Amino acid sequence: MRDNLFARTELIGLDVEVLSSPYSEISGKVFDETMNTFTIESAGTEKMVPKSGNVFRFTYEGRKIDIIGSEI
């Protein structure tokens, strides 16, 4: 679950890494967010990753924050 400060944070534009397979090779910036997915800009391409079933590591104000996708 997000901490109180991070819960109010806009995720678009943050650096993110996907920590669970089969998407674990994806890292970049959050380009877009829907209720069920993130679009991550990675190496000049956009990759859509489902939130459910994945764990994401965001970099926010210099901190690494791991979030379970189904809780976002």
Q: In this structure, what CATH number is given to the domain that contains residue 16?
A: 2.30.30.210
Low-confidence spans in the chain with pLDDT less than 50: 1-2
pLDDT of residue 1: 44
Domain that holds residue 33: 4-71
Whether 68 contacts 35, CB under 8 Å: no
What is the three-class DSSP state of 61?
coil
**Which amino acid, one-letter code, is at 45?**
T
**Which amino acid, one-letter code, is at 62?**
G
The count of structural domains within the chain is 1
pLDDT of residue 56: 94
